[in-house]
Structure 1
Amino acid sequence: MKRHKGNRWQGVLLGTFLGVSSLFAQQGQTGYQPTPENLQARQEFSDSKFGIFLHWGIYSMFGQGEWYMETSGIDCHEYAKAASGFYPSRFNAKEWVAAIKASGAKYICITTRHHDGFSMFDTRYSDYDIIDATPFKRDIIKELAEECQKQGIKLHLYYSHLDWTREDYYPYGYTGHNTGRTKHGDWNTYYQFMNNQLTELLTNYGPVGAIWFDGVWDHWEVDKNFDWRLGEQYALIHKLQPACMIGNNHHRAPIEGEDFQMFERDLPGENKAGFSGTSKIGQLPLETCETMNGMWGYRVKDQNYKSVPTLVRLLVRAAGKGANLLMNIGPQPNGELPALALDRLKGMGEWMNKYGETIYGTTRGGVESSEWGTTTRKGNMLYVHILADKMPSFITLPLKERVKKAVLFDGGEKVKAERIDGGVVLHTADLKPDTDCIVALTLAD
């Protein structure tokens, strides 16, 4: 028998929103003061440095990436029929989490609802979800949440602000005009729907490390003043789970109420991909997300996975800028992580087992980005990561502290460090290039 999914919490939530709405500006949360639990979560997040992103939904069945409905102009009602055949028989949360944890990643971020509107969890507010619309009838997010708690890894939840299927996502932004919707609903109903679902995610799935929002750019591209009422939404999240961080991939500088700053396909401040929208780096924890191959969602033709050395160097360069790397995998429609992705996870895990000390818990080291590499720092230890394929003859570091000892991290051989005006010169001509040749400097207290 189909379960009724009425708006059981609508009155409760509406009362909550009315009670807090006067406290917030149009987009930001006026006077937001993160709780001690939230500040601790931010520090743990900054220290973790490495997470795995999972873009998974019924779009995986088409093998064309997560934007297939939009890029191919697919009628959303025809697209939705794929749900009746979605049966990822080889999905095993225990195996997923174990492989990801072994890679050295400290957290997982998975899509709970992407732009196609399909929910990968059991929701009372839509029948277009993993339980009601598919023969699989297992709550993917719940199984993953439980396994993350068992294996001691954080779970972050991606949630789309935009929707190409629902009639009440109206007015449209710059996407979703050719997906077969003919009626125009009430934006307030859609806003209520989102907050109902967020309440479910933050109530029924245990501790959530972060809500990773995406899609605000859909309206801001055509109406810079569109009121997403983010302040109220952020307040709801922080009320339900004070330690839960909020990040928003809106391609702008963070607004009040957000707990970390993210950069899509870019290291902080670079904006080479054109999605970051700002070169301004704030004081919040930083995260850069990138694909392991060329797509976010599973694309059957895309087997062009980045090599382990390339991924390691991306991770190191992110750490050199004080940022985390959120590396994406698009799971297959049968529920398996692609073999090439598993191979890359294994390779990164082997590297992190040896050199993770130079990454975890570090901060910027004074040289964030150079042709030869970058630096990370932890206490009085400065790690010089030489990432160049051709070893430079020497490296100049703008150091005020005295260098007590300079050695190769792997092996302990001494490296000549010469004091000059304004810094220190490392003589590196005789060192052998590697994925990451690391010189460990012990600095005077």
Structure 2
Amino acid sequence: RLAKDAGMKYLVITSKHHDGFCLFDTQATDYDVVDATPHRHDLLKPLAAECRKQGIRFCVYYSIMDWYHPAQYRASPEHYNPTKIHAERKAEYLAFMRQQLKELLASCDPDVLWFDGEWPDWYTADDGLEIYAYLRQLKPQIIINNRVGSGREGMEGLDRGDRQYAGDFGTPEQQIPATGRAGIDWESCMTMNDTWGYRQDDQRWKSAATLIRNVVDIASKGGNYLLNVGPTAAGEIPAASVERLREIGHWMQTNGTAIYGTQASPLGALPWGRCTQRQDDGGTTLYLHVFDWPPDGRLALPPISGTITHAYLLADRDHTPLKTDATDRGIVIQVPPTAPDPICSVVVLKK
């Protein structure tokens, strides 16, 4: 419910992290929540059912690196990460992976498989292509991130161009690309503070304003925002996360139209904010996301092709027209002296 109220359209939950412990019932190992804990229940199946009840797409994270499986071993006495593999047992581990992935598809039918832990040198691009083809055979419509392959360019998250790699979208981590890239789907995965899991001593929370502007910045470049929440050992969402998610949801209730289903900005860099667009049979709609409201009431735009037919504030239910003037440098929109929203106000331009 919290995710839905925050405006999220899909949820990614960890099925198996690098430590190898599984939150689902798997026949491939007893190292799972059903066989190795007093809980003795699959955690993913009921969550998948509730997500679908709430209209949220259910997706799962799965780590390729596995510190528990005997085919892999630590790289040094000090570190597990990245693992090495006993060469004679690699085929066994890949078969283990295929079994678990098939179980996940059968038990909770995720819409996205979000891989990670692909960086050990024993896992190859060809391994990724094989796993990708296997999953496509099981569920042709599934979406798979590019970490199923081994072509990711570090934390920038997009594939190198030296050969074919598996995956449907790029995964920048803890960063937002400076610009979008035409024809490439991507999703920035980022934390609310500095850590992915729960840490009581990590109180470096990003503000709600930063998170909302991240949503806008990413959408303006044609990407998705995967925002992490690290629950406590008791399974509770930290209060600071709840507070920020509610603030995001409040902003999305008014401005979600300018985010959902939009495309990257057709304009260059804008000194006052960002732009998203929507194209349909009725023409083109530009959504101007204003971070820095003009104190003189004049919002300046570069030249725009086509004729502007309507301009108004998205927060204004009456769609009261705003005056627009053509200048030698582009377009000027006359806006009220006070911003409707101190974090990000949206001006709608129809043409």
TM-score by length of 2: 0.85
State how far apart, in whole Å, the 1-side matches of 2:347 and 2:76 are. Answer: 49
Shift of the 351–115 alpha-carbon distance from structure 1 to 2, 3 Å rule, reads same
Q: Which residue of 2 aligns with 1:212?
A: 114
Q: Which amino acid aligns with 1:247?
A: N
* 402-411 or 418-427, which deviates more: 418-427
Q: Which residue of 2 aligns with 1:233?
A: 131
**Length, aligned pairs only:** 330
Q: Which amino acid aligns with 1:116?
A: D
8 Å Cα contact 2:285/2:348 also seen in 1: yes
How does 1:67-146 map onto structure 2 within 5 Å? 98-146=1-49
Q: Which residue of 2 aligns with 1:367?
A: 267
1:304 to 201, 204, 207: 204
Q: Which residue of 2 aligns with 1:402?
A: 307
8 Å Cα contact 1:106/1:154 also seen in 2: yes
Does the alignment pair 1:418 with 2:325?
yes
CA deviation after TM superposition for structure 1 residue 424, in Å: 2.5
Does the alignment pair 1:355 with 2:255?
yes
Does the alignment pair 1:246 with 2:149?
no
8 Å Cα contact 1:123/1:129 also seen in 2: yes
Q: Which amino acid aligns with 1:426?
A: I
Q: Which residue of 2 aligns with 1:43?
A: none
Q: Which amino acid aligns with 1:168?
A: A
Q: Which residue of 1 aligns with 2:170?
A: 261
CA deviation after TM superposition for structure 1 residue 193, in Å: 1.1
Task: Structure 1: give runs of 5+ residues left out of the alignment.
Answer: 1-97, 271-279
CA deviation after TM superposition for structure 1 residue 100, in Å: 0.8
8 Å Cα contact 2:209/2:343 also seen in 1: yes
Does the alignment pair 1:202 with 2:105?
yes
- What CA deviation, in whole Å up to 9, does each residue of 1:45-66 have, x standing for no partner? xxxxxxxxxxxxxxxxxxxxxx
State how far apart, in whole Å, the 2-side matches of 1:322 and 1:182 are. Answer: 37
- What CA deviation, in whole Å up to 9, does each residue of 1:213-258 have, x standing for no partner? 1122233xxx8x9455111100111111111101024533345542
Shift of the 264–396 alpha-carbon distance from structure 1 to 2, 3 Å rule, reads same
Does the alignment pair 1:435 with 2:340?
no
Task: Structure 2: give runs of 5+ residues left out of the alignment.
Answer: none
- Between Structure 1 and Structure 2, the one with more helix by share is 1
Q: Which amino acid aligns with 1:441?
A: L
State how far apart, in whole Å, the 2-side matches of 1:200 and 1:175 are. Answer: 33
Q: Which residue of 1 aligns with 2:245?
A: 345
TM-score by length of 1: 0.68
8 Å Cα contact 1:268/1:281 also seen in 2: no
Shift of the 372–232 alpha-carbon distance from structure 1 to 2, 3 Å rule, reads same
State how far apart, in whole Å, the 2-side matches of 1:182 and 1:381 are. Answer: 52
State how far apart, in whole Å, the 2-side matches of 1:119 and 1:133 are. Answer: 10
8 Å Cα contact 2:136/2:142 also seen in 1: yes
Q: Secondary structure at the match of 1:109?
A: strand
Q: Which residue of 2 aligns with 1:289?
A: 189
2:286 to 359, 382, 390: 382
Q: Secondary structure at the match of 1:441?
A: strand
8 Å Cα contact 1:368/1:375 also seen in 2: no
State how far apart, in whole Å, the 1-side matches of 2:342 and 2:270 are. Answer: 16
8 Å Cα contact 2:187/2:224 also seen in 1: yes
Q: Secondary structure at the match of 1:217?
A: coil
8 Å Cα contact 1:264/1:289 also seen in 2: yes
Considering Cα pairs closer than 8 Å and 6+ residues apart, tell me whether 1 or 2 has the greater RCO.
1
CA deviation after TM superposition for structure 1 residue 422, in Å: 7.0
State how far apart, in whole Å, the 1-side matches of 2:239 and 2:145 are. Answer: 30
State how far apart, in whole Å, the 2-side matches of 1:196 and 1:213 are. Answer: 15
8 Å Cα contact 2:254/2:314 also seen in 1: no
Q: Which amino acid aligns with 1:381?
A: T
Shift of the 117–228 alpha-carbon distance from structure 1 to 2, 3 Å rule, reads farther
State how far apart, in whole Å, the 1-side matches of 2:268 and 2:44 are. Answer: 37
- What CA deviation, in whole Å up to 9, does each residue of 1:101-134 have, x standing for no partner? 1111000001111111111111111111111111
Q: Which amino acid aligns with 1:438?
A: V
Q: Which residue of 1 aligns with 2:235?
A: 335
8 Å Cα contact 2:15/2:44 also seen in 1: yes
**Percent identity over paired residues:** 35
8 Å Cα contact 2:18/2:67 also seen in 1: yes
State how far apart, in whole Å, the 2-side matches of 1:329 and 1:375 are. Answer: 27
CA deviation after TM superposition for structure 1 residue 421, in Å: 5.2
State how far apart, in whole Å, the 1-side matches of 2:117 and 2:182 are. Answer: 21
Shift of the 128–398 alpha-carbon distance from structure 1 to 2, 3 Å rule, reads farther
State how far apart, in whole Å, the 1-side matches of 2:131 and 2:84 are. Answer: 28
CA deviation after TM superposition for structure 1 residue 137, in Å: 1.2
